[in-house]
Structure 1
Amino acid sequence: MAIATLTSKGRITIPAKLRASLGLRPGDRVQFVSLKNGSFEIVAATCSVRALKGLIRKPSKSVSIEAMAQACPSS
């Protein structure tokens, strides 16, 4: 079990083994997810842009810049 201490500024250091397990590097973000039983789960909130590939389908019909401009007129 890993234990961390909260500083007076509200900061904690995630133990090295947990950082490695989550694949965290300096500058990465983590998300604290509230679970139904009142506990929390720490999840790595950053991922490579490459992980997003294929997430959104390619449109069947392309849209022109002019059509986009008409759909969102400026104020």
Structure 2
Amino acid sequence: MESALTSKGQATIPKAIRDHLRLKPGDRVKFFVHPDGTVVLLPKLPPSALRGIVKPRRRRVSIAEMEEAAAAGAAEHVMPQKRR
């Protein structure tokens, strides 16, 4: 596939590539130039696109549980338990 460069330095990404990368108008892309001169174009994904890739290892914790754990940690830091 090929594309012509405009006087502004712009090129149209062929439809087959846009479809393959699921690019929509307004999406951003990144270009990587390799030492051998090849260029790779990848879609720039927002951080929200990573949501759900990794399964959570632990159950979700409530705000109350977080506060309780923080208080327990702070209390232990201030008053360490006596060792036998």
Task: Report the TM range for the smaller structure's normalisation.
Answer: 0.5 to 0.7
Larger Rg over CA atoms: 2
Q: Name the CA shift for 1:48/1:24 in 2 (closer, same or farther; >3 Å).
A: farther
Mapped to 2, the partners of 1:50 and 1:39 lie a distance apart of 27
- TM-score when normalising by structure 2: 0.56
**Could you list the runs of 4 or more consecutive aligned residues of structure 1 that deviate by over 3 angstroms after TM superposition?**
none
- TM-score when normalising by structure 1: 0.62
For structure 1, list consecutive stretches of 5 or more residues without a partner in the other structure.
Answer: 55-61, 64-75
Q: Tell me the percent identity.
A: 33
**When the two structures are aligned, how many residues end up with a matched partner?**
61
| Matching residue's letter, 1:23 | R
Q: Which has the higher helix share?
A: 2
Mapped pair 1:12 → 2:16: no
Residue aligned with 1:31, SS: strand
For structure 2, list consecutive stretches of 5 or more residues without a partner in the other structure.
Answer: 55-65, 68-84
Instruction: Name the structure, 1 or 2, with higher relative contact order (CA <8 Å, separation 6+).
Output: 1
Mapped pair 1:31 → 2:30: yes
